[in-house]
Chains A and B, each alone.
Chain A
Amino acid sequence: MSAVTGLTCRECGQAYPVAPLHVCETCFGPLEVVYDYASIRRTMTRASIQSRPPSIWRYRELLPVQGEPQIGLYSGFTPLVKADRLAASLGVKELYVKDDSVNHPTFSYKDRVVAVAISKAIEFGFDTVSCASTGNLANSVSAHAARAGLRCFIFIPADLEQGKVVGSAIYGPRTIGIRGTYDDVNRLCSEIADRYGWAFVNINLRPYYTEGAKTYGFEIAEQLGWRLPQHIVVPTAGGTILPKVAKAFEELQRIGLVDGGQSVKIYSAQAAGCAPVIHALHTGADSIAPVKPNTIAKSIAIGNPADGYYVLRAVRDSGGWGEAATDEEIIEGIELLARTEGIFTEPAGGTTVAVTKKLIAQGRIPRHESIVICITGNGYKTIEAVSNTVAPPCLINARLQEFDELYRQLPHVAAVATREHTG
């Protein structure tokens, strides 16, 4: 089934066997899964993919699971929404939203990476799974662990949104809140992973976990009719998804599923209160100086992004760019997406929308080319971010006369005037 031949260090190229390893012993570089593309090219066709169920596993030759997938069978294949009303608002011609706010089972892009990581944990024979998380990953690991019947420990910053905390606890993991930032949680978990020998999806299973993120890119290409967008805007936290979307597009061209020679400009979006990658991008730096995060976009508040260097490289190699959005702009972005496309995203998604708007206004993204916005999380988990900015309900008794009175006082909004895109 799998065409995986081993692991290799992304920095020095040293080879390793398929095992729960994540760091090169020589240079500490991250390890990456290696595939036999020649054999994949022979068996993986558009037709074979399209004959399979609509989930991440339809691309299984390019995922690092040996046998049949064990868990997360319904993850992925989320809608690619043609966003005409948002396009009109931003003044562009062809715009799509890749909507992982409705991913299965926990409503974020993390369901992709966790489906792969926990399938791999089961293959390796682990009985306990764990993660360091800003919330979405913890939700997904908890749900998948429950379904797989595995013991689960999750580690989160103590100040997360209630929806993210409850959205893990309901599945029955042991939750440990850490007084500190995600970066503090990460450091502690690295030491716990070393001592306890559990399957930490984003530590010792990282090479497998990150491969799951490629499916986001595979789906975009397939849903566009086996072509690549000209521009794609991706949120950046730890830096997993952006380089993996780039890798997905490369792999599709390499094995001939999309025409070669298409170039995609990739743009990174960060919150201004935690923008170490954007800072490096704008100053031309090669290394990322860590920051102490301070933003409402908690799911992307990672001040020391492990893969930030690869984000920089992928953005620069593609000829793309990046921007940061303030908390105020992030909230405006959430509202804009909700009110034009009926999609309620968390602050990370608001960041991506706000940054897209900025890049278009700057002329970095041209108005007449195809653009994809990556929405990776769901707003129902982070109600706190917008609860004070939306209008509260008007309160009346259940009497028609009271409603008549209220209606007369309401400022009248022309609801039907903007329906020309409903077809």
Chain B
Amino acid sequence: MAVHVRVPTPLRRFTGGAEEVIAVGATIRAVVEDLEKNHPGIKERICDEEGKVRRFVNIFVNGDDIRFLNNLDTPVKDGDEVSIVPAIAGG
């Protein structure tokens, strides 16, 4: 499974400045592991010591927050768009 991952500014120093990278995996968890393999250091920015997604990080698959799906076990398929987005103040 190859998915498109949109990378926010604070993480682009791990992706050589790239705004979007390709990652492979059948679930978000696997995608994060694959990101770490190719962009070492990125995982600990997304996940805490226990491996859970950090409090102020939101991950979306095709626009849906993974907390409404199956969190890190949310399945992904070829061509899916994964967004990593910091929390945003109200409006």
CB of B83 to closest CB in A, whole Å: 7
A28 touches B9 (CB 8 A): no
Residues of A contacting B67 with CB < 8 Å?
A: 289-290
A-facing residues in B1-39 (Cβ within 8 Å)? 6, 8-10, 13, 19
Interface bracket on A? 35 or more
Indicate whether A127 reaches chain B with its CB closer than 8 angstroms. Answer: no
User: How many Å lie between the Cα of A366 and that of B12 in the bound state?
Assistant: 52
B83 touches A186 (CB 8 A): no
Residue B55 contacts which of A187, A190, A209, A287 (CB distance < 8 angstroms)?
A287
B90 touches A302 (CB 8 A): yes
Residues of A contacting B77 with CB < 8 Å?
A: none
Residues of B contacting A136 with CB < 8 Å?
A: 91
B63 touches A190 (CB 8 A): no
| A-B contacts at CB below 8 angstroms, number | 103
Residue A190 contacts which of B19, B85, B90, B91 (CB distance < 8 angstroms)?
B85
Known A-B contacts A25-B10, A27-B45; A190 and B88 likewise in contact (beta carbons under 8 Å): yes
Residues of B contacting A134 with CB < 8 Å?
A: 90-91
Residues of A contacting B90 with CB < 8 Å?
A: 134, 137, 202, 237-240, 302, 305-307
Interface bracket on B? 20 to 34
Residues of A contacting B88 with CB < 8 Å?
A: 132, 186, 189-190, 202-203, 206, 238, 306
Indicate whether A309 reaches chain B with its CB closer than 8 angstroms. Answer: yes
CB of A134 to closest CB in B, whole Å: 6
Residue A23 contacts which of B55, B56, B60 (CB distance < 8 angstroms)?
B56
Residues of A contacting B60 with CB < 8 Å?
A: 187
- Among residues of B, the one whose C-beta sits closest to the C-beta of A183 is B65
Residues of A contacting B45 with CB < 8 Å?
A: 25-28
CB of B81 to closest CB in A, whole Å: 11
Question: Given contacts A237-B91, A304-B65, could you give 18 more A-B pairs where the C-beta distance is less than 8 Å?
Answer: A11-B55, A23-B8, A23-B86, A27-B56, A28-B10, A133-B91, A137-B90, A182-B91, A183-B65, A186-B88, A187-B58, A190-B88, A191-B85, A203-B88, A239-B89, A304-B58, A306-B56, A306-B89
Give A residues with C-beta under 8 Å from B: 11, 22-30, 110, 131-134, 136-138, 180, 182-184, 186-187, 189-191, 194-195, 202-203, 206, 209-210, 237-240, 287, 289-290, 292, 302, 304-307, 309
Q: List 18 A-B contacts (CB under 8 A).
A: A11-B55, A22-B86, A25-B13, A27-B45, A28-B87, A29-B56, A110-B91, A134-B90, A187-B85, A191-B83, A191-B85, A194-B8, A202-B88, A290-B67, A304-B58, A304-B65, A304-B87, A306-B88
Give B residues with C-beta under 8 Å from A: 6, 8-10, 13, 19, 45, 54-58, 60, 63, 65, 67-68, 83, 85-91
